[in-house]
């Protein structure tokens, strides 16, 4: 098709015309082949601009110390200030973004090394119950954060499997790419035993002990929280790391549900599918159906849940009959939901800072198991800190715009490997329609496409996903190689390669179509 235009929307008539052109481009069904980024020179130049400005946000988030802030918040006077808290995921995002910035030529190797050394040294002094990192930390000291800055609300500390998984991801990448820092990274990684979260399979009671990972461990009560029951969530990074390091048995991968069993009728949709056996384990290969697409769902229907792992693990290439099918269909469903169903004109639904303040989980309800659902819009009744959707999604109109639709740019970057033309067109459309969404720190976290209000926030996690996606697109899948080459590939690739999901288009002749 050639390069995309920047869409200018000065008058209502030209807006309709531009939207029609955009929808046409997104629905032409270009095939996506491994090794072809689908990006032309203009796209690459745009991605380099995004990368430079996104890295600038990390410079601001880490300007006062070795640990990054959770994000930047824009004051009423327009000043962007770093938050006082951080998390293991934020720290991991900063570390891998430093590697990405160096690989993309944004910073010199000496600066990258200085930043990495400072953060590794700071992590060495952080309190670590059970060898793992607490979920909320003071970014200035690394100490346990006991109350929320600003309102003084007490924080109940916990150890998060996913949080520790993302920090471990960055430490593995440092060890693989920076020989001079490998010993220090390995010293931090060694005590991180993901077997701590593993609830071993008990054939006498497979309902209570199904062989899954606990999501969290509460420090005050010394008790484990919920189980991660679904494979298509961000928690599978912790499973991959635990398996690769010999801390969790490989069978765990096939114990986790593709969909919940059909008899759990409270879930978002009663799944269809078939039973298959891998490594002696019977697996229900279930799927949900959305607009004729058979898809293995996530928990809430968000892009982050389904696709963040792909920034570091080439699942689509290693497992072409499972993840290779599902990832691109998941992206296609998000695109169709935003453009065809809700008619927002743009798409991309994932947890983000709210345009009105606070944080919320956004997603496509039909792609999620959660019966309450994540949604693409603001709902009545949820306060600024409300997380997740409200009951009543089934009563929403089946199509047409909903009030206060919210789109987040990082979702487009997650879609880059699976629908590059559509992702770039969407980013251009966001900039053209909402010019203030882009700043010297890159994209702001979200926009209410109904009101035009834009979030006064950028989050370290979301910026980290953006930089990782760009490094993969422009530097030959650098982030995937940095994490997966070696022990991860040796243990995970043969484990996941044989699986065949029941995911696919209703018409199998469309299997090679992208959004």
pLDDT per residue as tens digits for the range 377-421: 887 443 333 323 333 334 567 788 788 899 999 999 999 999 999
The pLDDT value recorded for residue 17 is 40
Taking a C-beta distance cutoff of 8 angstroms, is the pair 143, 127 a contact? Answer: yes
> Among residues 432, 446, 443, which one has the least CA distance to residue 376?
446
Gap between the Cα atoms of 387 and 369, Å rounded: 16
How many CB atoms neighbour CB 465 within 10 A?
25
Average pLDDT over residues 309-319: 98
Contacts of 344 (CB under 8 A, 6+ apart): 338, 376, 401, 405, 407, 449
Residue at 1 is within a domain: no
pLDDT tens sequence across 210-235: 999 999 999 999 999 999 999 999 99
Gap between the Cα atoms of 354 and 454, Å rounded: 8
- Name the burial class of residue 3, with classes exposed (0-12), middle (13-18) and buried (19+) by CB atoms within 10 angstroms of its CB: middle
Q: What percent of the chain has pLDDT over 90?
A: 81
Gap between the Cα atoms of 192 and 104, Å rounded: 30
Integer CA distances (angstroms), 171 to 60, 120, 184, 192, in order: 22, 9, 9, 11
Supply φ then ψ for residue 30, to 5 degrees.
-75, 140
Model confidence band, residue 6 (pLDDT cutoffs 50, 70, 90)? very low
> Among residues 135, 139, 44, which one has the least CA distance to residue 89?
135
Residue at 2 is within a domain: no
Residue at 141 is within a domain: yes
146-167 b/e (C-beta count within 10 Å ≥ 16 → b): eeeeeeeeeeebbbbbbbbbbb
Treating both helix axes as pointing N-terminal to C-terminal, what angle do 41-61 and 420-433 enclose, rounded to 10 degrees? Answer: 60
Gap between the Cα atoms of 45 and 261, Å rounded: 46
Gap between the Cα atoms of 94 and 110, Å rounded: 16
Lowest-confidence region among 230-244, 387-401, 413-427, 431-445: 387-401
Taking a C-beta distance cutoff of 8 angstroms, is the pair 88, 167 a contact? Answer: yes
Beta strands, E only, 100-190? 137-138, 158-160
Contacts of 341 (CB under 8 A, 6+ apart): 291, 398, 399
Residue at 515 is within a domain: no
Residue at 392 is within a domain: no
Token representation of residue 14: 């030209």
Q: Bridge-partner residues for 230, per DSSP?
A: 257
Coil/strand/helix, residue 472: helix
Token representation of residue 271: 């799944």
Taking a C-beta distance cutoff of 8 angstroms, is the pair 429, 68 a contact? Answer: no
Task: Give yes or no for residue 55 having a pLDDT over 50.
Answer: yes
Contacts of 331 (CB under 8 A, 6+ apart): 303, 307, 415, 418, 419, 422, 514, 515
Supply φ then ψ for residue 480, to 5 degrees.
-65, -45
Supply φ then ψ for residue 160, to 5 degrees.
-105, 130
The pLDDT value recorded for residue 399 is 83
The pLDDT value recorded for residue 507 is 58
Residue at 385 is within a domain: no
Residue at 307 is within a domain: yes
Token representation of residue 281: 């384990």
407: domain CATH number is 1.50.10.140
CA atoms within 13 A on the CB side of 95: 31
Lowest-confidence region among 60-64, 302-306, 327-331, 508-512: 508-512
Q: What percent of the chain has pLDDT over 70?
A: 87
Token representation of residue 460: 């370290």
**Rg, the chain, Cα only:** 22
pLDDT tens sequence across 108-120: 999 999 999 999 9
Gap between the Cα atoms of 175 and 359, Å rounded: 33
Task: Give yes or no for residue 171 having a pLDDT over 90.
Answer: yes
Lowest-confidence region among 4-13, 80-89, 152-161, 293-302: 4-13
Gap between the Cα atoms of 298 and 302, Å rounded: 7
Average pLDDT over residues 337-350: 97
Gap between the Cα atoms of 209 and 215, Å rounded: 14
Gap between the Cα atoms of 267 and 280, Å rounded: 27
Supply φ then ψ for residue 215, to 5 degrees.
-75, -30
Gap between the Cα atoms of 123 and 133, Å rounded: 9
Coil/strand/helix, residue 80: strand
- The separation between CA 417 and the C-alpha centre of its own chain, rounded to angstroms, equals 14
Gap between the Cα atoms of 430 and 428, Å rounded: 5
How many CB atoms neighbour CB 266 within 10 A?
8
H or E, element range at 53:
helix 41-61
Q: Give start and end residues of each alpha helix (H) in 62-104.
A: 88-103
Coil/strand/helix, residue 84: coil
Gap between the Cα atoms of 444 and 459, Å rounded: 9
What dihedral do alpha carbons 318, 322, 325, 328 form, nearest 10°? -80
Number of domains in the chain: 1
- Give residue 340's domain range: 21-379+398-510
Task: Give yes or no for residue 278 having a pLDDT over 50.
Answer: yes
Q: Bridge-partner residues for 439, per DSSP?
A: 442
Residue at 393 is within a domain: no
Task: Give yes or no for residue 15 having a pLDDT over 70.
Answer: no
């Amino acid at each position: 098709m050639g390069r995309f235009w920047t869409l200018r929307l000065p008058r209502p008539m030209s807006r309709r015309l531009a939207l029609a052109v955009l929808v046409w481009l997104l629905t032409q069904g270009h095939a996506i082949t491994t090794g072809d980024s689908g990006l032309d020179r203009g796209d690459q130049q745009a991605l380099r601009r995004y990368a430079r400005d996104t890295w600038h946000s990390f410079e601001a988030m880490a300007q006062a110390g070795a640990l990054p802030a959770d994000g930047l918040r824009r004051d009423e006077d327009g000043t962007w200030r770093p938050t006082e808290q951080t998390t293991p995921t934020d720290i991991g995002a900063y570390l891998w973004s430093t590697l990405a910035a160096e690989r993309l030529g944004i910073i010199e190797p000496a600066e990258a090394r200085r930043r990495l050394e400072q953060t590794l040294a700071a992590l060495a002094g952080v309190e670590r119950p059970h060898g793992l990192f607490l979920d909320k930390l003071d970014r200035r000291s690394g100490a346990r954060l006991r109350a929320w800055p600003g309102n003084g609300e007490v924080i109940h500390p916990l150890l998060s499997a996913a949080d520790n998984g993302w920090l471990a991801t960055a430490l593995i990448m440092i060890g693989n790419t920076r020989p001079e820092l490998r010993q220090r990274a390995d010293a931090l990684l060694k005590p991180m035993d993901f077997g701590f979260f593993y609830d071993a399979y008990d054939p006498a009671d497979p309902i209570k002990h199904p062989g899954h990972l606990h999501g969290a461990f509460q420090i005050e009560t010394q008790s484990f929280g919920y189980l991660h029951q679904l494979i298509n969530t961000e928690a599978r990074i912790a499973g991959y790391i635990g398996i690769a390091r010999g801390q969790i048995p490989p069978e765990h991968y096939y114990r986790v549900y593709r969909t919940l069993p059909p008899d759990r009728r409270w879930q978002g949709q009663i799944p269809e599918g078939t039973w298959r056996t891998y490594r002696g384990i019977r697996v229900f290969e279930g799927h949900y159906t959305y607009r004729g697409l058979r898809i293995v769902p996530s928990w809430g229907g968000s892009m982050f849940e389904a696709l963040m792992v792909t920034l570091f693990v080439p699942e689509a290439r290693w497992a072409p009959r499972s993840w290779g099918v599902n990832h691109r269909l998941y992206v296609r469903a998000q695109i169709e939901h935003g453009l065809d169903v809700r008619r927002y004109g743009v798409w991309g639904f994932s947890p983000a800072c709210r345009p009105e303040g606070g944080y919320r989980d956004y997603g496509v309800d039909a792609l999620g198991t959660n019966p309450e659902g994540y949604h693409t819009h603001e709902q009545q009744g949820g306060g600024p800190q409300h997380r997740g959707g409200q009951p009543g999604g089934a009563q929403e109109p089946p199509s047409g715009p909903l009030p206060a639709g919210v789109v987040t740019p990082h979702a487009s970057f997650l879609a880059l490997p699976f629908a590059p033309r559509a992702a770039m067109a969407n980013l251009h459309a966001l900039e053209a329609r909402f010019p203030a969404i882009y700043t010297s720190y890159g994209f702001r976290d979200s926009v209410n496409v109904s009101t035009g209000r834009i979030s006064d926030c950028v989050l370290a996690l979301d910026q980290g996903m953006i930089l990782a996606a760009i490094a993969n697109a422009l530097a030959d899948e650098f982030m995937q190689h940095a994490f997966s080459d070696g022990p991860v590939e040796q243990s995970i690739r043969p484990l996941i390669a044989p699986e065949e999901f029941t995911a696919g288009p209703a018409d199998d002749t469309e299997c090679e179509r992208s959004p």
